[in-house]
Amino acid sequence: MKFTGFLLLGLASYAKAYPSAAQKSKPPFFVPAGDSTTAVQSTGGGGWGDGFLNTTLFKGASGRNLGHNGATTVSFRTGGDWDEVLATVKQSKESYRPFVTIQFGHNDQKAKANISLSQYTQNLEDLVKEVLDAGATPILVTPLSRRNYETSTGTPLIVQSLSNETAATIKAAHSTGVRVIDLNKASTDYLNAIGPDDAYTYNLNPTDYTHLNGPGSVVFGGIVADLIIKVAAELSKDGYLKVDKTLKKDVKDGIYYWP
C-alpha cells in the first residue's frame, strides 16, 4: 500500500509537470529564478537570464528575469523574490504557458549561508512543488560553472567547485519527477574546450570569473536554450525556442563563439 501511494504521488507530480493540450497551445513565458549567475547584468552580478530571454524566444514567447544577486534558496524566499516569481506566474497564466527555471548553488555552498546539502536539496524540492501547485512547469538547472582553471595536468581545466550542488540539483529533480538541465556540465565542457584566455572574455569585469557580461549572457543563454530544447522538444517544434545555428555548432564542437 505504501508503494502504491508513492506511485500515485509520483504520477500526480508528473501530470502537473506536463500541462494539458489546451495549455500547450499558448506561447511559453519563462521566469528565470536564481542567483546572480541568472540575473540581469549589473555592477554586482550578471548571468545567462537576459541573453536567454532576449535572443532565443520567438513567436510571442516571453519572460521576465527574476534572478537576484547574492541569493540562496533561503534568502530568495525570505527576501520576497519567490513571492514575486509566483505572482508573475499567476499574472502570465491567462495568456501564456509559464515555465520557471530554478538555478541556485553559488551562494548556498558558502559557509556563511549555513545551508547543508540536504537542506539545499529539500529547498529545491519545495520550490519545485510550489511551482507545480501554481500551475507552471518547473525546470531545475544545475549551477553555471565558474571560470576558474587549474593547470596541474599541464592542460587548463575548470575547477569543479560546484559538483556537490550539481548532484543535489539532479537529485531534487529525480525525487520530484520534473525536468532538469545540466548547465554545469555543458558550461564546463565548453569552457574546457576553449581555454581560459577565451573564457575570460565573458567575464563581467577582468577579475570576475563568476558573472557574465552581455556577450557572455548571450552565449550561455543560448546554451541554456539548447538544453531546454532537449527536455522540452515541443518548444522548438512549435517555433518558440531557437538557438543561433553557429552558436549551437561552435559550442558542440568546442569552438570559441563571440556574438
* pLDDT, tens only, 133-168: 999 999 999 999 999 999 999 999 999 999 999 999
Please state, in angstroms and rounded to a whole number, the distance separating the CA atoms of residues 1 and 256: 55
Please state, in angstroms and rounded to a whole number, the distance separating the CA atoms of residues 223 and 206: 22
C-alpha cell read off for 241: 525556442
pLDDT band at 232 (very low <50, low <70, confident <90, very high): very high
Secondary-structure percent of the chain, ordered helix, strand, coil, rounded to 5:
50, 15, 35
In 138-149, which positions are buried (b, 16+ CB within 10 angstroms) versus exposed (e)?
A: bbbbbbbbbbeb
pLDDT band at 44 (very low <50, low <70, confident <90, very high): confident
Residues in contact with 186: Cβ distance below 8 Å, sequence separation at least 6, in sequence order: 223, 227, 251
What would the mean pLDDT of 70-75 be, rounded to a whole number?
Answer: 98
What would the mean pLDDT of 179-191 be, rounded to a whole number?
Answer: 98
Task: Decide if 190 contacts 254 (C-beta within 8 A).
Answer: yes
What would the mean pLDDT of 32-47 be, rounded to a whole number?
Answer: 96
pLDDT recorded at residue 7: 35
In 80-93, which positions are buried (b, 16+ CB within 10 angstroms) versus exposed (e)?
A: ebbebbbebbeebb
pLDDT recorded at residue 25: 84
pLDDT recorded at residue 194: 98
Domain 2-251: give its CATH code. 3.40.50.1110
Residue from 99, 97, 129, 128 nearest 20 by CA: 97
